[in-house]
Amino acid sequence: MDTILETKNVTKVYGEGDNRVVAVDSVTLALKRRELLLIMGPSGSGKTTLLSIMGCILHPSQGDVVLDGRTVSGLGSDALPDIRKRFFGFVFQSFNLFPSLKAAENVELVLRLKNHDKKRLKTEALELLDKVGLGKRSDFYPSDMSGGEKQRVAFARALAGDPPVILADEPTANLDSKTGMDVLRLLRALAEDFGKGIVIVSHDPKAEGFAHRAVFLEDGRIKE
Ligand SMILES: Nc1ncnc2c1ncn2[C@@H]1O[C@H](COP(=O)(O)OP(=O)(O)OP(=O)(O)O)[C@@H](O)[C@H]1O
Ligand SMILES: [Mg+2]
């Protein structure tokens, strides 16, 4: 099946009474393998909430998430950590690298968490850094790397364990324009050359030129 992830009428409500906010409102979306999908929309429109639901980090108030044909809400919450490990690589705006670990060690750490073969940790980490064009920086600490390089380490880490889906929240927000383009180009290549389904949330108008498809959120709803 070509579709790797679907949300079906997903709604998320935060708070109650006067504090009630419908952050995501009946969103139905499908992500294919090899697709780079862009989610745009103003601040507060529900982008991060939707991405968190897609990544099974947040439970929807209503609706279903379907991963590779299996409905997630039918599974117990015990199953979620394992699903997150197998299905997703996450990348955030702020890189979230460990400053005291070298680039390769940052990647190895995630491989370890995903129970990767211990004998192959170092080789595999180098291979992943190579994929994102950072083979030569494996011994660098985050403090000695540029923003774009740090973001690429974050993508190498997201690829650890070979998950079919990568979810990235504002991956170019802390980057200058040219570096942002490099990261977007890399994302497109990860989708097309490595078959990943990738969702990025971005305010960055440049992102539209790299995505295969863009959807626009407003007040939690997809605007046609
Ligand atoms: N944990 C929370 N508790 C209560 N309300 C929340 C929570 N997280 C988000 N919201 C509200 O839900 C709505 C959507 O928030 P969300 O963070 O998904 O927006 P966003 O599109 O990612 O915004 P931004 O572009 O600023 O990151 C907002 O009105 C926000 O205030
Ligand atoms: Mg957000």
Residue ID of nearest Cα to ligand 1 atom 2: 14
pLDDT of residue 1: 60
Q: Are 104 and 122 in contact (CB under 8 A)?
A: yes
Number of domains in the chain: 1
pLDDT tens-digit profile, the chain (224 residues): 699 999 999 999 999 999 999 999 999 999 999 999 999 999 999 999 999 999 999 999 999 999 999 999 777 778 888 899 999 999 988 888 999 999 999 999 999 988 888 889 999 999 999 999 999 999 999 999 999 999 999 999 999 999 999 999 999 988 888 888 988 999 999 999 999 999 999 988 899 999 999 999 999 999 97
Ligand 1 pocket check for 21: Cβ under 6 Å: yes
**What's the CA gap between 190 and 205, in Å, rounded?**
20
**What's the CA gap between 55 and 90, in Å, rounded?**
8
Ligand 1 pocket check for 45: Cβ under 6 Å: yes
Which atom in ligand 1 lies closest to the alpha carbon of residue 220? 14
The model carries a pTM of: 0.93
Query: What's the length of the chain?
Result: 224
pLDDT of residue 176: 87
CATH of the domain at 112: 3.40.50.300
Query: How many CA atoms within 13 Å lie on the side-chain side of 213?
Result: 14
Tokens of 41: 């929309």
Identify which of 4, 3, 5, 23 has the alpha carbon closest to the alpha carbon of residue 13: 23
Residues 6+ apart with CB under 8 A from 205: none
Number of Cβ atoms within 10 Å of the Cβ of 42: 12
CA of 107 to the centre of ligand 1 (A): 29
pLDDT of residue 16: 94
Residue 153 is part of which domain span?
Answer: 3-72+80-223
Ligand 1 pocket check for 44: Cβ under 6 Å: yes
